[in-house]
Structures are given as C-alpha cells and as structure tokens.
Amino acid sequence: MPKFVFAYHGGASDLSPEEGQALMAEWMTWIESMGEAVVDRGLAVGPSKTAGPEGIVDNGGANPLSGYSVIETTSLDMALQLAAASPHIKIGGTIEVAPALDIPM
C-alpha cells in the first residue's frame, strides 16, 4: 500500500496555552482516528533555516514547515480526504500531501 507524507505548514502561532492544549487534544483524536494508516505520527518543528544556492538563510522560505506525519493508505485521494479532516486546517494551516517514493537509498 502506498505511503504519503503530510507536511504541515503554517497555522496559528498565537494560541493561549489552553487553546494549544485543546488543539492538541483534537489533533490526537484525529490522528488516532486513522488507526493503522498512521506509519509515523511525526513531529512538530520549530523555526528553521534554509540552505540554498545563495547560502544559509534564517527562515523557512515562503511556506515554512511546522511538522510532518507519514500515513499509508490506498490512494492519493484517500490521503487527501484524511488530511482535509485535520484540525490543523481550522487554525489556518495547510497540509501538503506527497506520495513517498520507494527509491533504494
């Protein structure tokens, strides 16, 4: 079955501690609702730096990463449906969904 990377971008950064806890509870309910489709719950990430042809810059580019997850499901359409149900979207974030390529490394 194909795997997909969910790359979380943006979202509210001005949540109170109580709002943050409530959002995390919603996120846990959502991620647990996917059951065995979740290969790696992933991680939230902090501010990043970007390495590129111009050297190192102190930002995450135009759309900085705020976290990732890996899921396994039947199709890209199903992965998109699962992503669309995430509470990350309701706080203004987006989720980039990309197939994981099976390339020997």
Fill in the DSSP letter of residue 85: T
Rounded Cα distance between 38 and 4, Å, is: 10
Q: pLDDT, tens digit, for every residue of 35-51?
A: 999 999 999 998 888 88
**Any idea which residue has 């309910």 for tokens?**
29
pTM, entire model: 0.89
In the structure, what pLDDT confidence band is assigned to residue 82 with cuts at 50, 70 and 90? very high
Q: Which residues contact 13 (CB under 8 A, 6 or more apart)?
A: none
Q: pLDDT, tens digit, for every residue of 15-34?
A: 899 998 999 999 999 999 99
Is beta strand 93-99 parallel, antiparallel or unpaired with respect to 50-52? unpaired
Fill in the DSSP letter of residue 6: E
